[in-house]
Structure 1
């Protein structure tokens, strides 16, 4: 092992000292859902927003709130409703008749971790207000622009679109989410453990803070330095390009894709793969890192055609076919 590689490995081990204790602390409250917790951790390490989708009762909100409790940082939970206004989210100008002046009242979005609960229950104008905060990490109120704190992360939950009283999120906003994680039911053994832990009028939901914002920001700089081989980079680009032009890669997906993934998918797929290597304690990215996180990065960035919908072919199926059809370096 070279001296440079040895130094990088020691940097990674030092920077990730809080990772395992954090996962252990979260597991005291959240039974199972290991993939969900790892994806939230990936978003935290990559400074990327995460969208969680699943039917009610799968511990989406509980997991986010527990993760926030394990960090020495600000946390705000915003319940999205059909009558929510942009001012309820970002703040507004309040007129003071005594002084004849306007003062700014900042909204709950000015925090570090934002739990946007049931985000798809709010109308489009609220989603547009959140868009600037997610992308630019700033908010405009009146004529002034206010920067958001660092770290700033939106962890949003939504029920499936078929549920009553929901709105389809705009494609532009979906693309701002680094990951979209489909949250499934626990296994039978996990559900038995949930019964033992939660079937009481006062379940234990207390966890201890494990990590500071400064440690997270330092870990991000280490994640950025993780090595990605040129062949792995080419593999990532091929995966994204195959979603736009599958015929060029001899994939039989003709007429199934309405639009492919954007260049933002290439960036996020690389970053997420680096985070997976960091969580595993490695200083380099493997093709398996790309494949393990690829579905969550790409599922909400590929639009399926009407023909695909008629055949019940989802974007997840298309992503799986792309990974199955491309040669692994």
Structure 2
């Protein structure tokens, strides 16, 4: 599901609804009738009375990402990279008590549905831009371990397995020699994070932007084909537009394992507040444990 796609009404947990009300009130916005459109790493709302997206951090392990998203959005705007823009006129991120949020201009999906070719072109453009020295370095294992530290209601055996898996992947990752020069990367580059805007495709969900290997931005689409059953054309078009096929590189199996672990562990800190993700989490953990590279996964709801 796209980050800003509005589907059926979702039930809003009382604590999250309270946080939204407080955050909106602090900046003069009306939260009544807001729709919860995403509930994994952030609680993402579309306000009813204003074209505004509110992204509320759900876990302490994700707090730094709100600050990172603000700096990333400003960098994107300076370099004219097509992307969502922050809601102007506010000091961001917005903090009210223990709650932290970022607010964005809503971009309705009224343009053509983005393709792998669109994502490849956006990534080439972004990767060619000069980084700012204040951007974070790519540290995927630190991010994974933060999620494990904040995990709630997880079976101790699963916790132990995931800790061992992190150690194993860290060793394999350290041995890789990336062929492409480092650049600013999106770090979660899949078509769910591209909006078909009126003036063309836009990147969204900028929380993870950092300096790292471009190969990592080419991995999600490839893994989506292999693990989520996404159309092969998405990857083929991306590889053609970008000029590099990640699946032909000898280091891809390591990045595939890393990507699969990342998209599996993202829900660990919110298992109590969003129990509907448990069945899919257990399915994913089982296939990773068994070394099963064929079983298909479904998106977290």
TM-score under structure 1 length normalisation = 0.28
Q: TM-score, normalised by structure 2?
A: 0.30
Structure with max Cα Rg: 1
